[in-house]
Amino acid sequence: MMNIFQKFGLKQVINGCGKMTVLGASAVDYEVAEAMGKAARDYVEIADLLVVAGKYIAKATGAEDGCPTCGASAGIAISTAAVIAGCNLTKIEALPNSEGMRNEIILQKGHAVNFGASVTQMIRIGGGKPIEVGCANLVEAAHIEEAITEKTAALFYIKSHHAVQKGMQSIKVMIDIAHKHHLPLLIDAAAEEDMNKYRKLGADLVIYSGGKALEGPTSGLICGRADLCKACRMQYGGIGRPMKIGKEGIIGLLTALERYGKQMENGAEQRERMQLLLDDLKGISGLEGRIVQDEAGREIYRAELTINENLLGLNATQIAQNLKIGDPVIYTRDYFLTQGKIYIDPRPLFEGQEKIIVEKIKKIIAEK
Say if CB 184 and CB 205 are below 8 A apart.
yes
Amino acid at 294: D
pLDDT in tens, 186-210: 999 998 888 899 999 999 999 999 9
Low-confidence ranges of the chain (pLDDT < 70): 1, 261-265, 296-297
Helices (H), 95-235: 119-125, 141-146, 171-180, 197-201, 226-234
User: Which residues partner with 124 through β-bridges?
Assistant: none
CA distance to 112, 113, 116, 166, 190, per residue, from 162 (Å): 9, 7, 10, 12, 11
Task: Read off the pTM.
Answer: 0.82
CA distance 176 to 196: 19
Q: What are phi and psi of 250, to 5 degrees?
A: -65, -45
| pLDDT for position 291 | 87
Give DSSP secondary structure letters for 97-135: --TTS--EEEEEGGG--BSSSBHHHHHHHTT-EEEEESB
CA dihedral (156, 157, 161, 165) positive or negative: positive
The CATH code of the domain at 30-259 is: 3.40.640.10
> Can you give the residue ranges of every domain in the chain?
4-23+265-366, 30-259
Q: What's the length of the chain?
A: 368
| pLDDT for position 90 | 97
| pLDDT for position 249 | 95
- Report whether the peptide linkage leading into residue 130 is cis, meaning its omega lies within 30 degrees of zero: no
Say if CB 358 and CB 277 are below 8 A apart.
yes
| pLDDT for position 261 | 62
What would you measure as the largest C-alpha separation in the chain, in angstroms?
68
CA distance 249 to 255: 10
Q: Please name the CATH architecture into which domain 4-23+265-366 falls.
A: Alpha-Beta Complex (3.90)
CA distance to 121, 147, 236, 246, per residue, from 39 (Å): 33, 46, 20, 10
Cβ neighbour number for residue 146 with a 10 Å cutoff: 10
